Amino acid sequence: MIKKLVITALITTLPYINAFADTPSEGMWSDIKSTLSDTWDASSYELYLPINTWHNRHYYSQEKINGYNEQPWGLGVGKYRYDEDGDWHGVYVMAFTDSHSKVQPVAGYAFQKMWRPNNGIRVGAGYTLGVTLREDFNYMPLPVIAPVASIEYKQLALQSTYIFGGKGNGNILFTWIKWQID
């Protein structure tokens, strides 16, 4: 039941990405469902520990920054897999304290193209699609579409996303530690 809810929530965010496509093909939807199911069915787990929320100083006044929480206490868990190309796929749920020190849960799917400069080290770049709930939006579901990047050594990773926005909103670098449990 939870698997179906997560996959349904993620698929509902895809029209935002697909807005520029002419018409999505049935094959594309089938591929998306297959990728999500394969990732959900993976037997490898990861833990997430949020460590920093940085508000881009170019878009916020010092007064606003002084009032924001940049220590996002929280925790998350996910399932992951590496595909035949060595790229990382993950489904996750995480909750942390947002910029206003309110609880913000997020659930989603993430993909990263991985490069391996040497044994044990991986560098990744990709995207995440998901759903979040925020107190300042009355906990209404909000889509998440954001880039993700990481540097990893064996089972430990430093992973970040950047939430784009305008003057006084968004433009936040959110960083967490990821530990892969096998």
As annotated, the active-site residues are: 55, 98-99
* Phi and psi at residue 35, to the nearest 5°: -60, -45
CA distance 175 to 53: 6
Distance of CA 49 to the CA centre of its chain: 13
- Residue 96 token pair: 């942390």
Between CA 8 and CA 33 the distance in angstroms is: 9
Distance from C-alpha of 182 to C-alpha of 180, rounded to nearest angstrom: 6
Cβ-count burial 156-178 (b if 16+ within 10 Å, e if not)? ebebbbbbeeeeeeebbebbbeb
Closest by CA to 122, choosing from 160, 155, 161, is 155
Asked if 171 and 165 touch (Cβ cutoff 8 Å), the reply is yes
